[in-house]
Structure 1
Amino acid sequence: MRSLAALLLAACAVANAQNCPNIVARRGWGAKPAKTVEYIIKPVHNVIIHHTVSPICTSMNSCAERVRSIQVLHMNNLKFEDIGYSFLVGGDGNVYEGRGWHKQGAHTRGYNKNSIGIALVGDFTDTLPPRAQLDALKKLLECGVQLGELSDDYQLLGARQVVATQSPGLALYQELQTWPAWVEQP
């Protein structure tokens, strides 16, 4: 048990040293276990951004509840093996671990084997996410590069660029187009 605690403490120290955002682990938001797991090869070259088209959450409790409900929807209704996204970013400024850095997601058909899928909790069709949510997304991307999870020259895409969807919402998509890693064509 002590070795597990030491390992967790070391992981937290590495995350803080890398200036990573606060990442709420699966246990922290009450995730159900995945039915099966497939791993992806690192570093990942594509990051695909989504929105959840749900009300925004502004506290850890409301965000954890929202993430749990998304996992239930994905597993029960869509018959996914787990929540589809690699990470979800709440309006509270926290990042919620979905499948994480190492496991293949189920977020963007045809791109799951070579990408990380990040969903911002909320509907960003007409309005931008709060600054804390955008800042947490930026820090997560920087953290991924620093940890070697994302390639230095990763490509940032809105889901609408690669599949028939309106995600990540027009307002958020226009914001992403101003970020350095955004590319017009994958």
Structure 2
Amino acid sequence: MQRFNIGLLLALTAITRAENDCPRIISRSGWGARPSKHVEYMKIPVEYVVIHHTVTPSCSTVSMCVDRVASIHSFHVDTNGWSDIGFSFLVGGDGNVYEGRGWHQVGAHTYGFNRRSVGIALIGEFTDSLPPRIQLEALKSLLECGVKEGELAENYKVLAARQVSATKSPGLALFQEIQTWPDWVENP
């Protein structure tokens, strides 16, 4: 697996955060993504956000999260045969956001909703406990940033993957948490 200069990576991404008041977003090249085999673009601004968890061990440092995202990417591409990582973004327990397919590409995260939603996965398993506060704050900051930059509709709606797919994602504890958010909707 390719290693990166994490100090340089954080210095470069911190500039982005200061300029646009968005969370630190580690680019695809920052975590070593392979090029996508197929790209399909979404209509912007996006109306829905679907929240997932990765059902993997969590991560609390940049190097751990980079390894976890790269592993998920390999699983999606090499095992599932997908053209790229399925999620639009992944949020680590280190407080960073990792770019998957990003704002503009149709993902492979929620069958039937991929063309009209951004799929955001929190790295970890959140059935019995909530993600760390820093992870939840990074997610909320990403959503605010998406609205400010015109990527998400101002009246976007948050859904849990379990609401629109046969899954237990994003875990019961996280599902109960997002039901308290003002942008969560019971029915899409």
Cα distance in 2 for partners of 1:14, 1:123 equals 29
Q: CA deviation at 1:153?
A: 0.3
Say if 1:16 and 1:61 are closer, same or farther in 2 by CA, change over 3 A: same
Could you tell me which residue of structure 2 aligns to residue 136 of structure 1?
138
Residue 68 of structure 1, CA deviation = 0.3
Match of 2:77 among 51, 57, 75: 75
Q: Deviations over 1:17-48 (max 9, x none)?
A: 43100000001111111111000000000000
Unaligned runs of 5+ in 2: 1-12
Q: Deviations along 1:135-166, whole A, 9 cap, x unmatched? A: 00000000000000000000000000000000
SS across alignment from 2:165: coil
Which segments of 5 or more consecutive residues in structure 1 lack a partner in the other structure?
A: 1-10
The answer to whether the aligner puts 1:148 opposite 2:130 as a matched pair is no
Q: RMSD between aligned alpha carbons?
A: 1.3
> Normalised by the size of structure 1, how large is the TM-score?
0.92
Of 24, 40, 52, the match for 2:42: 40
From the superposition, tell whether residues 132 and 14 of structure 1 become closer, same or farther in structure 2 (CA, over 3 Å): closer
Identity rate of aligned residues, in percent? 60
Task: Please tell me whether the aligned partners of residues 16 and 24 of structure 2 are also in contact (alpha carbons under 8 angstroms).
Answer: no
Per the alignment, residue 180 of structure 2 pairs with 178
Could you tell me which residue of structure 1 aligns to residue 167 of structure 2? 165
1:124 aligns with 2:111: no
* Cα gap change, 1:153 to 1:56, in 2 (>3 Å): same
Q: Distance in 1 between matches of 2:75 and 2:26?
A: 20
- Deviating above 3 A after TM superposition, structure 1's stretches of 4 or more consecutive aligned residues are 11-18
